[in-house]
Structure 1
């Protein structure tokens, strides 16, 4: 078994694609027309880090309950973790993402498990950028 996709509820497909591809550096894996269970149009949009197996399904909020969950999927906690290979890759990713306008809410720090910096995605969810040791 493996984890294939994780859903992330977003307000707008194109805004989320732009953020994850341009600012974070993910690849756009798929953007295909689809329909909701009751036949309304939607899109199947998947992004993922280069060379990664697990991707993120960008799911546009549909209805009041889902719109309320945008940016709150993890109740204000860090809920997603973007790992890089080493300290050099961490520094490069941090600087590239900052230059692209990604909001870091906590600066890089060293923890027993490695380097970490907390950032906010286009919808407001918190992520860790992490590297070992």
Structure 2
């Protein structure tokens, strides 16, 4: 059996990104381990039981230009919630930058927001069609 376990997000440094994800999205730090003087292995997820996590990938030099633009100008990640209105209000209170007003689509209630790096995400409450 194969399955996806993690995706990486490019970062310049770790601590402010960890702080933003834990404060603004209520993510948990699953692992934060020093690998070398300049590198840590950091995994974050919405909960410890999540099937997919985010690995913070510290980059420098030429690859740093991709920080916040891993999907170009499109949505990079999709964050599902079972209570859209509460999640949206919590994120507003934490100062999350939204790119639009919430909207109802056939597949979900959805809104696009940016993470602290500039990557776009969808916050979704699926309708059950997924």
- Which TM-score applies when normalising by structure 1? 0.89
| Residue aligned with 1:106, SS | coil
| Residue aligned with 1:25, SS | coil
Q: State the alpha-carbon separation in 2 of the partners of residues 84 and 2 from structure 1.
A: 21
| Residue aligned with 1:34, SS | strand
TM superposition shift of 1:132? 1.4
- In structure 1, the residue matched to 2:11 is 10
| 2:51 aligned to which of 35, 50, 53 | 53
Q: State the alpha-carbon separation in 2 of the partners of residues 83 and 129 from structure 1.
A: 6
Q: State the alpha-carbon separation in 2 of the partners of residues 93 and 2 from structure 1.
A: 27
Q: State the alpha-carbon separation in 2 of the partners of residues 78 and 45 from structure 1.
A: 22
Give unmatched runs, 5+ long, in structure 2. Answer: none
TM superposition shift of 1:45? 0.6
- In structure 1, the residue matched to 2:27 is 26
- In structure 2, the residue matched to 1:92 is 86
| 1:105 aligned to which of 94, 99, 102 | 99
- In structure 2, the residue matched to 1:118 is 112
Please report the RMSD computed on the Cα atoms of aligned residues, expressed in angstroms. 1.1
Count, aligned residues: 125
TM superposition shift of 1:84? 1.2
TM superposition shift of 1:62? 2.3
Give unmatched runs, 5+ long, in structure 1. Answer: none
- Which TM-score applies when normalising by structure 2? 0.91
Q: State the alpha-carbon separation in 1 of the partners of residues 12 and 73 from structure 2.
A: 18
